[in-house]
Amino acid sequence: MTDYLFDTHALVWWWTGDTALPEDVARVIGDQRNAIYVSAVSAWEIATKCRIGKWQAAVPVFENFEELAAADGFGELSVTVLNGLLAGSLPGEHRDPFDRMIAAQAIHDELVVITRDPALASLGCATFWAD
């Protein structure tokens, strides 16, 4: 059993059935032996990008985020002061505040991030699937 935290794009692809999510990754997500978490950061990122019209495919996720998380049995992670301090102090050039916070939460809570983004690993968190 492994504990995982979704990166936002992977979460949206899971909930929208996007074929960009590889089948082996979907199997890990669907395996009930694994604990899967979604971050408040992903909710914030999705809401922001939907509001500014940057991610239309995520609108159904934005509109049903809590119901989708509950239906899949995903745990929810809130953002803490410790997460903020860690995110702001992580080394590296990666500037995306959403990614920095997800990496910090993963490090703090010893979670593996489900992501296609290899830049997340450069922040010091463990990742699964990064291309």
Q: Identify the structural domains of the chain with CATH numbers, from first to last.
A: 24-128 (3.40.50.1010)
Residue 38 in contact with residue 29, Cβ under 8 Å? no
Beta bridge partners of 21: none
Residue 126 in contact with residue 113, Cβ under 8 Å? yes
Interval 100-112 mean pLDDT? 97
Q: What's the whole-number average pLDDT of the chain?
A: 95
pLDDT tens by residue, 19-56: 999 999 999 999 999 999 999 999 999 999 999 999 99
| Beta carbons within 8 Å of 131's beta carbon, 6+ residues apart | 116, 118
List the structure tokens of 84.
């903020």
pLDDT tens by residue, 114-127: 999 999 989 999 99
CA–CA distance, 5 with 24 (Å, rounded to integer): 16
Entry pTM: 0.95
| Beta carbons within 8 Å of 117's beta carbon, 6+ residues apart | 7, 9, 99, 127, 130
